[in-house]
Amino acid sequence: MKLNTTRFGELDVEESSFFEFVSPILGYDNERKFILIEHNENSKFKWLQSVQTPSLAFAVTVAGLFGIDYSFELPDVTQEELALETAEDILALNIVVIPHSNPRSSTINLLAPIIVNLKTKKASQVILVNSNFEVDYPLFEKEVAC
């Protein structure tokens, strides 16, 4: 089907590739269908584009690509609501915030990843309540003033 998007224009997409959010991306309760778009070839970044709202897209990445130690146990509730049977079916995406005027102070949300079951395409934004992960973990070390 054709999908209209603000950032990427009209895309030709397969409905079978849609992620269905069983628990919403916080603040976007009515947005339940998204599609993952590569930023460009070999990029560490991707976009989570809403199927319903052309202007709605989140910048996402994979924490490990930045050398971040990202290990945790998935809450039982999430495992159940996503019908996950094996950890190999999991895709964990982290939402990135890039300040327009200063990309050096970009942050990554490690506390609330988007967890996807690649087999069933069910997805959920999960808050890792018992972890020490941060919502705004800096992608770069703070610059040291000389």
Partner 1 sequence: MLVLSRKNGQKVIINDDIEITILESRFDHCKIAINAPKEVKIYREEVYHQIQRANKLSNKTSIESIDSLASLVSQSTEVAKEKTNKIIIKKK
- Mask: binding to partner 1, 77-106, rule CB under 8 A, as x and -? x-xxx--xxxx--x-x--xxxx-x--xx-x
- Which 3 state secondary structure label does DSSP give 16? helix
For partner 1, give the closer residue by CB, 15 or 65.
65
Amino acid at 62: V
Q: Does residue 138 touch partner 1 according to CB under 8 A?
A: no
Rank residues 19 and 58 by Cβ distance to partner 1 and give the closer one: 58
Site map (CB under 8 A) of partner 1, residues 5-44, x = contact: --x---------------x-xxxx----------x---xx
Strand 114-117 with 57-61, pairing: unpaired
Secondary structure of residue 44 in the 3-state scheme: coil
Cα 55 from chain centre:
16
The yes or no reply on residue 123 touching partner 1 (CB under 8 A) is no
Whole-angstrom distance, CA of residue 67 vs CA of residue 99: 21
Are residues 7 and 13 in contact, defined by beta-carbon separation less than 8 angstroms?
no
Which of 44-64 are b and which e, b meaning 16 or more Cβ less than 10 Å from the residue's Cβ? Answer: eebbbbbbeebebbbbbbbbe
- Please identify which residue in 13, 22, 36, 59 interacts with partner 1, judged by CB under 8 A: 59
Binds partner 1 (CB under 8 A): choice among 13, 36, 70, 119:
70
Written as six digits, the tokens of 145 are 């003033």
- Residues at the interface with partner 1 (CB under 8 A): 7, 23, 25-28, 39, 43-45, 55-60, 62-74, 76-77, 79-81, 84-87, 90, 92, 95-98, 100, 103-104, 106-107, 109, 111-112, 115, 125, 127, 129, 135-136, 139-141
